[in-house]
Amino acid sequence: MLGIVALAICGAAVLGQRLYRSEKVNTLERQLALAQADRNDLAVREVARRLARIDSSPERQLRVAEVFLAVKSMKEFWAMLERLECGSPKWRASAVHLRARGYLAVENWVACITTLKSLLAYPELSVAERTEGWGELAAVQAWLGEWSNALVSTDARIRISDTTEARLEQARALVRLRRWQEAGVAFARLKQTASDNPRVKDFLPRWERVERALDQLRGCDEAVLAVPVALKPRVERAFVEAQMGLWQNAVEDLNFVALGSTVLRFPLLLGSHLGLRERAQDRAPDTDEGRRMANISWLASSGELARLNGVLGRNADDWRALLDIDFEIVGSRAGWSSPTEHAARLARQAQLEFQLGAHSWARADASEILKQVPGFLPAEAVEIAASLEDGDPINAGRDLESALKEHTDEMGKVPSELMRLAAKVYQARGQHSAAVEALSACLAESRTVELLQARAKSLRFMQRFGEADQDLAEAQTLSVATQVEGKP
């Protein structure tokens, strides 16, 4: 009897301890959920540590490791994984999968790919786990720009589980590889099997737009393949791709060109309109494929394309002129006859940047020119105009005064280009009397609608309304006359 009583007491003690531990675990889980909801990473880490100490089961260790990964507590994450991998073989595949996610979090791409491949070699993986593994491998390869490998991984995923999502990723890889015929087959299959899928429905008309211009695309591809290291065919193809909505393909070409030459401005400026604003402003090509493409459409929507074509269409002549002057500079760098001649080309490039809205770039380029050729008027004009557009009338005025001293001749005559800029600077600074004087000097040489309207603006500020109305009336008459004559 005493033995039975002792056993009963021991059993009750064990049961009580288990109930206490279970209650403690439940309490900690609630605390963990609250800390996660509050995004209190310090609290999350501390509660996860307590859970791991109370419950050492593989299931709990796996869940705690996931928590450490979520809050980027990498030292504790790796330690927890090592314990899991040294434990039961049953959990080893899950630990390896989680390790791959850890490498992904710290952007160790090579280790991530190697780990995912080792995971896929496990024979005990379920269909769902194997499908997920191939999908993750394809995603990492795509992030790195390894599109041929990403396509192989996506095809392997499709052979296991043929889903609409996988088929769309396959079509994307084929487009990025410029395998147009196979891409057409992939989209035809999507149209046949998943035309009611919302994502597919969005992409089908975009692909049809590309399909209508495939002959032009293939011609661009042939020109690039004929001389793979040449820059101009790449820029020409990027321009076509941009207008078709193949923006990731276009950015790939533009980045190749930017890496090949630091004097070209067309690739950077076009790239800025495709979504490369941050890197383009840094004036340096971005070599990180994934980050470069993260927010860029691989098949742009009609709205995105309308916005871009509006930018390109409004200034089509300037875009073409910028492309021409870019390659004129590249072709003449080694053999230009004088610093002034080369500076004139660079100033023209900066002026076109300014006209296309890249005011900060134009200002920076003009400053560089002036370091090499001080007092070069075309560069000074760009610098002053860009300063004004950047909302910096103080520096614009300082540069203007310097230019006026440099370029006013013995008779007191100022170049008309500089006089026009002077008027703009004076207006920006509220010096309307000086602006009227400068504009009157310009109008004595050439009467244009722009100059008349500008002088009328300053006259109104000076409350000389009658003279302002005369200028506006003349500007209206001149505008009608030029339209009748068919002038721009």
Show me where the domains of the chain are located: 175-212, 213-335
- pLDDT score, position 485: 53
- The distance of Cα 337 from the centroid of its chain, to the nearest Å, equals 39
Q: What is the rounded CA–CA span in Å between residue 311 and residue 237?
A: 18
Q: What is the pLDDT along the chain (488 residues), one digit of tens a residue?
A: 555 545 555 554 445 555 656 777 788 778 878 888 888 888 888 888 888 888 878 888 888 888 888 989 899 989 888 887 776 677 788 888 999 999 999 999 999 999 999 999 988 888 999 999 999 999 999 999 999 999 999 999 999 999 999 999 999 999 999 999 999 999 999 999 999 999 999 999 999 999 999 999 999 999 999 999 999 999 999 999 999 999 999 999 999 998 888 889 999 999 989 987 544 444 555 556 777 787 899 999 999 999 998 888 888 899 999 999 999 888 876 555 577 888 899 999 999 999 999 999 999 999 999 998 888 989 999 999 998 888 888 888 888 888 888 888 777 787 888 888 888 888 888 888 888 888 888 888 888 888 888 888 988 888 888 888 888 888 888 878 766 554 44
Instruction: State the pTM of this model.
Output: 0.79
Cα-based distances in Å from 213 to 78, 216, 245, 447, 448: 51, 6, 11, 46, 42
CA distance 455 to 437: 9
Burial class (CB in 10 A: 0-12, 13-18, 19+), 16: exposed
* Cβ-contact 333, 311 below 8 angstroms: no
3-state secondary structure (DSSP) of residue 447: coil
What local confidence, expressed as pLDDT, does residue 483 receive? 61
Q: Which two tokens stand for residue 361?
A: 């770039």
pLDDT score, position 21: 66
Structure tokens at 201: 């429905």
